[in-house]
Structures are given as C-alpha cells and as structure tokens.
Amino acid sequence: MSSIDPIKFEVIRNAFVEVTEEMSAALRRSAYSTNIKTRCDFSCAIFDRNLNVLAQSFAQANHLGSLVRMVPLAVEAYGAENFNPGDGIVLNDPFLGGVHLNDITIISPVYSEANSSGTWPAWPITSTLVAERRQASGPSRKSTRKA
C-alpha cells in the first residue's frame, strides 16, 4: 500500500474546496432570491467520476444528504455516456431527493482536454432552494358566488 503525502493531500483537498467556494460566490452574486443571497440556502459540491463527493462548500451542508443519492440516480437515468461538453441536468424531483418543493439541482460534467478517453474528472453540483413562491396574477381565488 502506498503512503499518501499529507502535505500534497491537503493542498489538493483545499483546491477542490476552493472550487466549491468559488461556485458558491458566483451563485450568490448572480442570485435574485434573498434565501440565496443572505441566508446562503444552497450547496455546491464536486463529485468524482465515480460520483463520490470530493469537496463541498460551507453554505448549507444539509442539501448534501440528498445530493449523494440524487446525483448518481440522475446521471444513471440519463446515462453518463450520453453527456457531451456543455451538457447538464436540471432537477426538481422530490422522489430523487429534492427536500423542498422549489429545490433545484444542477448537474454538469467537467471535461479535461488532457483526457481524450471521453471521461471526466469531476462533476460540479449546485443545489439550491428557489424560494419565491409567486402569487397568481389576476382575480382573487375567493369565491365570487352570491349567497
């Protein structure tokens, strides 16, 4: 069994964590929802090619409990071999692991130019609660029936 250099391990681990933190920062900057901007009600993670979690952001770790189930099932259902550069999946499925009605998960593979075999080193994942429950416009839902 080969030993792992602890310094190299920490450098690589922290590099992956920083990628998830950059994902989080980009999501917060571009978000409209107060839940995302101020409450950080989202999670970002990177999964390896075997769909194991490599790193996660420090926002809401509770989403990650559903991601470890949801991501492999979604990728398997779509077929990992069917992905091409630029492809992604947007999920809103409570049966796959969405915790709230408005949970949205985005799954997209990252390809490496150095890897010509068509496989990918990582899957960046974002899971967030889009909390704006908009009221229907138009007449009130109250009954217009006369007594």
**pLDDT value for 9:** 92
**pLDDT value for 44:** 86
Q: How confident is the model at residue 116 (pLDDT cuts 50, 70, 90)?
A: low
The answer to whether residue 99 scores a pLDDT higher than 80 is no
- Can you give the three-state secondary structure of 82-96, one letter per residue? HCCCCCCEEECCCCC
Q: How confident is the model at residue 131 (pLDDT cuts 50, 70, 90)?
A: very low
Q: What is the pLDDT of residues 34-85, one digit of tens each?
A: 877 888 888 888 888 888 888 888 777 676 677 888 888 888 999 888 888 8
Q: Which of 25-39, 60-74, 117-131 has the highest mean pLDDT?
A: 25-39
**pLDDT value for 140:** 46
Residue 138 or 60, more confident:
60
The answer to whether residue 124 scores a pLDDT higher than 80 is no
> Exposure string (b/e) for 71-107, b if CB count within 10 Å is 16 or more?
bbebbeeeeeeebeeeeebebeeeebbbeeeebebeb
Residue 20 or 145, more confident:
20
Domains of the chain (ranges plus CATH)?
A: 6-129 (3.30.450)
